[in-house]
A and B are shown apart, each in its own frame.
Chain A
Amino acid sequence: MKEDLSVVGKRLPRWAANDIVTGAARYTVDLKLPGMLVGKVLTSPHAHARIKKIDTSRAKKLPGVETIITFEDVPHKIFNPSMMNLVQHHPEGELEDMYVLTEKARFVGDVVAAVAAVDGATAEEALDLIKVEYEVLPAIFDPMEAMKPGAPLIHDYAKNNISLHMSFPVAWGDVEKGFSEADVVVEATFQTSKQHVSQLEPCSCVASFDASGRLTIWSPSQHFFPHRRKLAELFDMPEGMIRWINPHLGGSFGKYASFGVEPVCVALAKKTRKPVKLEYTREEDFTGTATREAYVETGKIGVKKDGTITALKENMVVHSGAYFTHSSATAGVSMAHFLGVYRCPNVAAEGDAVYTNVPVSGGCRGYGIPEACFLLEQLVDMAAEKLGMDPLELRLKNVKKHGEFSQMGLPLETETQEKCIRVGAEKIGWKEKRARKKENGTKRYGIGMATFFDVSGGQPFELEDRNVYIKLNEDGSANLITGAGEIGQNFLGTSAQIAAEVLGLRYEDIHIVAGDTDSSLWDPGQMANGNCYGVGNAIIKVATDVKKQILERVSKKLSVTPDELDIKDRKVYVQADPVKSVTVAEICRDAIYNHEGGHLNIAQVKVHLRRQRILHPPGQYSLMLKWIRQRVR
């Protein structure tokens, strides 16, 4: 990193930190509009049941109830709440299998009706008055049981409850030949578990239509432009008739790569033509929103005596739960990270997505990668044990190096994985600890390691177009306008640092405008650890352009060439003679309030980064080494 950086690399407050510590920051759950109704949902108490009849007549008569909606009142359009089929390109896409309100409950928590009323207490009372007659159907909770003939069918189209058979598109070599060349072959099956995302702010949304039918929606999202498009398609609206605003967001962790409660909330607002707020209770959030997919994953590895890996194969059963959601996207990511870590001439992976009557899955931190790492690293350890080889040496022999190809087919730009393993091993005392006695009375000692890689940006499968505006103000400050949002990592503060650094301004001179589809250019969303890298590069590009325009303008004023100038701490100065200077504020005022027609286009600049190669491949490697002491009975 350059030594003379003045803003980047400094400890600066998180964006909007003062609002957060004083309680002034507004999250979606804090919003209130005049005349706003409160929405509540009625969920199925049965894991699997057909709705025979819903009687809402008594509930509708309750004073204060504005509307009650069931599956008959919502668009008869099938959809998938995941945004991945809009921002990812992969052959199978994500299957669509959901309705806004369901006619058949497929898990405890499936939404069958919704109420909008003047307040929460009235809405809750109305829920109690809705009478639903269910035909309870046999339910199934284990994906392996669900695939057996005769298991209850959850979606009519999916025979044996298998929604999709998936093969990893970037396979190569001949795995069977690879296994025949191996001296040691290990095959094992592991089961990973579901995990709820559990963001602290309960899933919530505020939706409001204006008199011309334009919808404004305030809701947490990691992908609010794709969300807007999906909402537009679902409710038969042009995208331009929807404005999506991301308020402060109380955690996402992958959850808001899907719709939360937006479709139901919008349906209520559309019916009542009044603003509606729908906020889940923690219990509704736990049962009704995204969990990590559970996998039953079988891996096979072939290794020669000298430790060379000859073949890798994976077969996964993806436990989707009641609906498909992110099943193919997470499985694809998981397969890529199972096959991609080690150099191997023969790789293949396939899997089946399976329905059961458990709550829906979705995006959740790591997005299939922890599961891939778990399976792969168990296999490597087992192979090392069979070979009688140090598991660390086995890994070092096979990790990919600079210039080799990642599983996505792009060359690796770093080779830190090898270094990471070596440094980690030294720091933890790998050799010494392995040489120690492993047993002492009732105690057992052990040491283990695992390694994996992660990407920064999901190319070539994901759209990574990043767009930024910079607008200068008369006081020399700048608005940084981005379609990317803040989901808790201080990405917006980082963005301000980058802009300030390039423009020669101070951190506090950058005013961020973010999280609004009306004021910013399109952005794919916050995903795949690529936000800072992608948007950051767009900021560098646009800020460099703005700086060039400022320097050109100043060069005419000071009768020097632009190359002779630079900007630092809000001042444009002649490098050879820093006393000769003007402030950025002076030049901005001059450029904006200019009656002589000399107005330069420094007020607005945009940039469009498309498929920039450096976004991919892996920028990060991690290594986990752990010395474990366990007492055995």
Chain B
Amino acid sequence: MKKEIAVFNINERLYEVVLAPNITLAELLREKLDLTGTKCACGVGECGSCTVLVDGQPTLSCSTLAIACRDKKLLTIEGLAANGELHPLQKAFVEAGAIQCGFCTPGMIMMAKALLDENPNPSRVEVKEGLGGNLCRCTGYVKIIDAVMAAAEMMRKGGR
């Protein structure tokens, strides 16, 4: 398969990569760029673990071709904290104890980020619906929802 050179804007940094057109975004992030914070649990777009934001839209990176994301702004879990300070969602996940094994956490947080960007004042039901595509096998959903609600409040009060 013919490889191409492509430039990606990830977490406000430009990466020049030589890649085959059949490489998924998850493979690009995890294998080529060592951005392993994005997890792949199912590889077929069922579990939400691999969620990243592409031009602000939540995107399943395991089921998206990397090449389709050129010229777009990508945000992964590694880019969420700014200047050494955790994003309100990250703080809230730590404080609420919304982490068990932690494997679903990056995907949950990225999905929640997209949700709060669109709806800064969601109800619990809206949070549940928003995170409906993200699986937590440890079944820590209650605290995850608590964390998103707490983060929403923090952000409304002036956090990022």
Which residue numbers of A lie inside 8 Å of B, CB to CB?
A: 11, 13-14, 16-18, 20-27, 29-30, 32, 198-202, 248-253, 281-282, 487-490
A131 to B97, CA, bound (A): 50
Which B91-106 residues sit within 8 Å CB-CB of chain A? 93-95, 97, 99-106
Residues of A within 8 A of B100 (CB): 488-490
B86-A200 in contact (CB<8A): no
Partner of B40, one of A16, A29, A251: A29
Residues of the A chain whose Cβ atoms lie less than 8 Å from the Cβ of B97: 11, 13-14, 490
Chain A residue numbers with a CB within 8 Å of B94 are 13-14, 17-18, 21
Partner of B103, one of A17, A24, A250: A250
Q: With a CB–CB cut-off of 8 A, which chain B residues contact A21?
A: 77, 86, 89-90, 93-94, 99, 105-106, 109
Can you list 8 A-B contacts with CB-CB less than 8 angstroms, sorted by A residue number? Answer: A14-B97, A20-B105, A21-B99, A200-B136, A202-B43, A250-B39, A281-B43, A282-B41
Taking CB atoms, residues of chain B closer than 8 Å to A25 are 102
Q: Assess the A22–B101 pair: CB atoms within 8 A.
A: no
Closest to A198 in B: B137
Could you tell me if B37 and A251 are in contact, using CB atoms closer than 8 angstroms?
Answer: no
Q: Which residues of A contact B136 (CB under 8 A)?
A: 200
Query: Is B102 within 8 A of A488, CB to CB?
Result: yes
| Residue contact A282 to B103, C-beta cutoff 8 Å | no
Q: Would you call A23 and B38 a contact (CB within 8 A)?
A: yes
- Which applies to chain B's interface (DSSP): helix, strand, loop or mixed? loop
Tell whether, in the assembled complex, residue B43 and residue A251 are in contact, meaning their CB atoms are under 8 Å apart.
Answer: no
* Cβ 8 A contact of A488, one of B35, B42, B101: B101
Interface residues on B, range: 35 or more
A201: chain B residues within 8 A (beta carbon)? 39, 41, 101, 103
Pick the contact of B104: A16, A200, A249, A252 (CB < 8 A). A200
Would you give the shortest CB distance from A503 to chain B, in whole angstroms? 24
- Specify the chain A residue showing the minimal Cβ separation from B41: A200
- Which has the most chain B C-beta neighbours within 10 Å: A21, A202, A252, A489? A21
CA distance A252 to B138 in the complex (A): 9
B57 within 8 A of A: no
B128 at the A/B interface (Cβ < 8 Å)?
no
**Shortest Cβ distance from residue A55 to the other chain B in the assembled complex, whole angstroms:** 27
In the complex, the answer to whether A23 meets B101 with C-beta atoms within 8 Å is no
B62-104: which have CB < 8 Å to A? Answer: 76-78, 80-81, 86, 89-90, 93-95, 97, 99-104
Other 13 A-B pairs with CB < 8 A, given A18-B94, A488-B100: A14-B99, A17-B94, A21-B86, A21-B93, A21-B99, A24-B78, A27-B39, A200-B49, A201-B39, A248-B101, A248-B102, A250-B101, A251-B103
Asked if residues A200 and B37 are in contact (CB atoms below 8 Å), the reply is no
Q: Which residue, of B49, B103, B105, has the highest number of chain A Cβ atoms within 10 A?
A: B103
Distance between Cα atoms of A14 and B101 in the complex (Å): 10
Which chain A residue shows the least CB distance to B89?
A21
B35/A23 in contact, CB under 8 A: yes
Is the Cβ of B86 less than 8 Å from the Cβ of A250? no
Distance (whole angstroms) from the CB of B131 to the closest CB of chain A? 15
Query: Are A282 and B42 neighbours in the complex by a CB distance under 8 Å?
Result: yes
Kindly identify, within residues 2 to 61 of chain B, every residue whose CB is under 8 Å from any CB belonging to chain A. 30, 34-44, 47, 49
* Complex contacts, A250 vs chain B, CB 8 Å: 39, 41, 101-103
A490–B102 Cα gap in the complex (Å)? 10
Q: Is B135 an interface residue (CB 8 A)?
A: yes
Residue of B nearest to A281 (CB): B43
Contact B78 A200 (CB under 8 A): no
Question: Counting chain B CB atoms within 10 Å of each CB, which of A24, A200, A202 scores highest?
Answer: A200
8 Å CB contact of B101 from A30, A200, A202: A200
- Known contacts A200-B49, A250-B103, A489-B100; decide if A32 and B41 are in contact (CB<8 Å): no
